Amino acid sequence: MRKKLIAGNWKMNGSLAANATLLDNLRAGGAVGCELAVCVPAVYLSQTQSALTGSSIAWGAQDVSEHESGAYTGEISATMLKDFACGYVIVGHSERRSYHRESDELVAIKAAQVLKSNMTPIVCVGETLSEREQGHTDAVVIRQLQPVLAAVSSRLSEIVVAYEPVWAIGTGKTATPDMAQQVHAVIRAALASVDVHAANTIRILYGGSMKPDNAKELLAMSDIDGGLIGGASLKAADFLAIASAA
């Protein structure tokens, strides 16, 4: 049985003052029946670590450098993130793929870096609206996943995958539970082609306008093992309501 994971992606939001309130409220939310994590801007990792240490909520980052160290101005390495006890690191978010032109191959190297520092990569895949309309959804997510499967095959069971249809991110449009389930099943079959046992244990999260009022039906689908939550993770009440739906 896969334990559900509800992970917040704060994106480029927050301030010391706002985070303090949000993190306190999450901590005060008490035990929920699933795993909870927040992926925060890197400059707030220290604050998040202080606020959440000793709680059951994990924390992590939203990106990582593909390099280990050296002259890469502005980059943050996996070992640096590990210094702040990150449990998770998002890689390949569609905003990084589109605004920073991250390729499938680069995302795979980043996933491997995260594993090397013994953290869990949350590998994001998902199609654009025009790719969906042309019937290319399955091919796109498999293409995005392929280099990752090759790069991390020996530690495949340690990754988390997030299916985030680009057209559903921050738009208020959500994939229906059936649409999401269909793609999750395609992803799980691709994982199984490398390692059947790992495919059964890997959590595949859904992301894209998941909210308290649609979380329950999405999370009821057999291959949806949690959520990667953007906007709704910035309000403790909403984030915790999604967690209780899980």
Piece of 70-78, 81-89, 136-144, 226-234 that binds ligand 13P (CB under 6 A): 226-234
Q: How does strand 160-163 pair with strand 88-91?
A: unpaired
Kindly tell me which of 149 and 234 has the beta carbon lying closer to ligand 13P: 234
102 part of the interface to ligand 13P, by CB under 6 A: no
169 forms part of the interface with ligand 13P (CB under 6 A)? yes
- With respect to ligand 13P, which residue has the nearer C-beta, 156 or 218? 218
Strand partners for 69:
none
Question: Of the listed 35, 66, 93, 127, which one is catalytic?
Answer: 93
Whether 100 is catalytic is no
Helix, strand counts (H, E) of the chain? 11, 8
Q: Is 210 in the site for ligand 13P (CB under 6 A)?
A: yes
Burial 8-40 (b: 16+ CB within 10 A, else e): bbbbeebeeeebeebbeebeebeebebbbbbbb
Q: Is 229 among the residues that bind ligand 13P (CB under 6 A)?
A: yes
With CB under 6 A as the contact rule, the residue among 207, 218, 221, 223 that binds ligand 13P is 207
**In the structure encoding, which two tokens stand for residue 66, read together?**
């593909």
Amino acid (1-letter code) at residue 150: A
CA-CA distance, 196 to 181, in Å (whole number)?
Answer: 19
- Return the residues of window 64-83 that contact ligand 13P according to CB under 6 A: none
Which of residues 36, 37, 228, 242 is near ligand 13P by CB under 6 A? 228
Phi/psi of residue 98, nearest 5 degrees: -90, -45
Our finding on whether 213 is near ligand 13P (CB under 6 A) is no
> What phi-psi label fits residue 93: left (phi over 0), alpha (psi between -120 and 50 degrees) or beta?
beta
Q: Considering the rule CB under 6 A, would residue 164 count as an interface residue with ligand 13P? A: yes
Question: Of the two residues 170 and 213, which places its CB atom closer to ligand 13P in the complex?
Answer: 170
Cα distance between residue 77 and residue 72, in whole Å? 10
Looking at the Cβ atoms of 164 and 223, the one nearer to ligand 13P is: 164
In the residue annotation, 164 being an active-site residue is answered as yes
| Separation CA 229–CA 213 (nearest Å) | 13
Q: Per CB under 6 A, does 209 bind ligand 13P?
A: yes
Residues of this chain that bind ligand 13P (CB under 6 A):
9, 93, 164, 169-170, 207-210, 228-232
Catalytic residues, which ones? 93, 164
